[in-house]
Amino acid sequence: MTISNKPWGKTNGNNVFLYTLTNKSGLEISITNYGGIITSILMPDKNGQKDEITLGFDSLKDYISEKYTSNCPYFGALIGRYANRIAKGKFSLEGVTYSFICNNGNNHLHGGNKAFHNQVWDSNVINKDGRSILELSIFSNDMEEGYPGNLKTTVLYSLTDDNELIIEYSATTDKTTHVNFTNHAYFNLNGCKSNVENHQLQIFSEKYTEATDEAIPTGKIIDIKGTEMDFFEPHLIGERISKVQGRGYDHNYILKGENGELKPGAIAIDQISGRKLEFFTTEPAVQLYTGNYLDGSLNRGNTVFNERFGFCLEAQHYPNSPNEPSFPSTLLKPGNIYSQTTVYKFSTI
């Protein structure tokens, strides 16, 4: 596996680079230190035809344009300090109430306006256990976007010759805080030729967190067996999507297996191209999102990103965990190390 890089422009006086990870199978994954964004995944199909299978852009200017940032879909970005939603932009910790911008209706989403997805990360290529790895790191000051604690975060991206994209997260803080990180890649295994409704999806989950119309958990854990939410046995994404609350899937699935142990979370297959994606994570849950709010206003060349043009498998703790004591804790305390591993494995059938 090799990692090449090139200058990719500047924003706010900071140099931005584009790194491309390539393995012996011909899989090419491009990542920029702006937002830690996965900008491109070029993958061969069952006949060896290589196509783009993720949503994103070919230039930095598109990611920092008003058209993109005004209604940001977070294409391929690292998300933090808190992925998903915090109800009413507030939580209390050690007797102090912390408030955050409500950038998603009445709620706080994906860390706010100045968050991991739109910051320039320090970047370096390192060697670890014989692997070349892209190392990204960022320092978030105490009370940045309202979050307590000086937070140091490192994310490692590596690509194996078995076509596994491995994402390893770690973080430390000097004050008790809440953290919940993810990557927001959108996948389209048919080479971005049409929407993803004909993708076959399996999720190793029998329960999800019930949510309000604002996608805030009610606190109830719901058994989904036999419902339109159930992907424990494979179904096409579009098969029952019209029955789903809201505009499509945007739900937190509780994964089977132990929190903190790497476990299978989902499998997606496009039968026409033969491309297959397997998802593994140490996190307790995954957010399935089916690109419900893509509206055709964004594009890469002639490829227009219309509604349901990609799906996301976002490894995470539950939304609004800081306000739900019964949920797995997202607390990070001084002296402890946050760690998470997510793997996306690509193959053909």
Active site residues: 184, 314
User: For the stretch 66-77, what's the b/e string if a residue is b when 16 or more beta carbons lie within 10 angstroms of its beta carbon?
Assistant: eebeeebbbbbb
**How many other C-beta atoms can be found within 10 angstroms of the C-beta atom of residue 127?**
8
Residue 310, φ and ψ in degrees, nearest 5: -155, 160
Alpha-carbon distance of 44 to 346, in angstroms, equals 10
Question: Which residue in 194, 191, 197 sits closest to 305, CA to CA?
Answer: 194
